[in-house]
Amino acid sequence: MLKDKLLRPIDPSNDHTPWLWIGTWSMGGEGFGSHDERESLRVLTAAVENNIRHFDTAGFYARGMSEMLLQQIMKSDRPELFISSKGGLVREGRKIKHCASPDGLERQLFESLDRMKTDYLDLYQLHWPDPEVPLDESIDALKTFQRQGLVRFWGVGNLTEQQVSDTLSEERNIPHQVHFNPVRRNHRVLIAGRDRCINCIISPLEQGLLGSGKSSAGISGIGKKDVRNRNPCFSDPAAMKWTSRLDELIRQYALTKISIILMWTCSRPHVHAIIPGPRKIAQLDELLAFKADAEINDLVSSEEDTAILSDEKVRNIVPEVIWQHLERGIETTRQDKDRNLYPQISQTKTQNE
């Protein structure tokens, strides 16, 4: 079932394992701390050299800069790459607005194609449902782009469980970007999409809070202008308590934090791909090491399984005390409610940031 989901529908011509994609949100200089464009480009180049083919971006990211950065690796390798972008969020001055009407999406798609100097995208996704546009209308626009040959596949992002059930009821294998990791559970959305979606996990390291760098210290580890100040987890005492307990437990075993977090996430039911956002070579290396370990240790699921990694095999590796901690997650009712990575969007009609 997993093989069927992952390898065929997205890109039948691609024989590289596509469960690890690379996201470019932080690479364009969006405000994830200090920005080094050359280092970001080195990350993308090294990813391609290491057989990563799937890259995710959006016109919204860093005002188009992430797409322009990606364009630099597309110059030589375009047919080899699987490029996914998104439309539906725009900036007007300092405001962020939904814009997922058919006309708005068409305009954003052509802007993305221009920035990336390509005449097609492999995947174009609705970044976020627009409360003022019926979801069907936005999706119909994506289907039109597919018929016109502008995009090979269409997908969605940030749908609720209800929206997946109602709007995608007749669909199969639609890529859906779902925010999920040990401190951001969205199990119900994953389950709703099990037969309809390819569940692609965004922010698997909770924007760095679950990584090993300075940002893992939460609000005290990031600067005042860092976009992650808007992420409630970074200032949530329960999340901070949970991550420091995880650090304490991991120190007792010879395992890396990235591997532990990603092993757990990739073995959760109906997780079909992960999209982390490394912006430094050392971070990409951690991801590649994780991928290699998973393959060498034969953790990657067989055809019958419903997730990337076999739950049973992962449980044999992760010490029980750490597993229980991951399973418990943070004890807060926020999990499915407070899902918005861009909390300021909802205020855009009336208020400046």
Ligand X SMILES: NC(=O)c1ccc[n+]([C@@H]2O[C@H](COP(=O)([O-])OP(=O)(O)OC[C@H]3O[C@@H](n4cnc5c(N)ncnc54)[C@H](OP(=O)(O)O)[C@@H]3O)[C@@H](O)[C@H]2O)c1
Binding site for ligand X (CB under 6 A): 23-26, 32-33, 56, 127-128, 157-158, 177, 202-208, 211-213, 215, 258, 275-279, 283, 286-287, 341
| CA-to-CA separations, 243 to 109, 182, 233, 338, in angstroms, rounded | 39, 10, 11, 19
Q: How far is the CB of 13 from ligand X (least distance, A)?
A: 23
Nearer to ligand X, 59 or 277 (CB): 277
Nearer to ligand X, 5 or 86 (CB): 86
Q: How far is the CB of 302 from ligand X (least distance, A)?
A: 27
Q: How far is the CB of 283 from ligand X (least distance, A)?
A: 3
Tokens describing residue 31: 């405000």
Q: How far is the CB of 222 from ligand X (least distance, A)?
A: 7
Nearer to ligand X, 213 or 232 (CB): 213
Q: How far is the CB of 242 from ligand X (least distance, A)?
A: 16
Instruction: Report helix, strand and coil shares of the chain as percent, to nearest 5.
Output: 45, 15, 40
φ, ψ for residue 269, nearest 5 deg = -55, 140
Nearer to ligand X, 104 or 208 (CB): 208
Q: How far is the CB of 256 from ligand X (least distance, A)?
A: 9
Q: What one-character DSSP code corresponds to residue 166?
A: H
φ, ψ for residue 91, nearest 5 deg = -105, 140
CA nearest neighbour of 99 among 71, 128, 70: 128
Q: How far is the CB of 308 from ligand X (least distance, A)?
A: 15
CA 338 to chain centre: 17
Q: Which residues contact 291 (CB under 8 A, 6 or more apart)?
A: 20
120 C-beta neighbours (distance < 10 Å), count? 15
Nearer to ligand X, 59 or 276 (CB): 276
Nearer to ligand X, 146 or 256 (CB): 256
Measured in residues, the chain has a length of 353
Nearer to ligand X, 26 or 173 (CB): 26
Q: What is the C-alpha separation between 145 and 69, in angstroms, rounded? A: 24
CA nearest neighbour of 205 among 252, 269, 260: 260
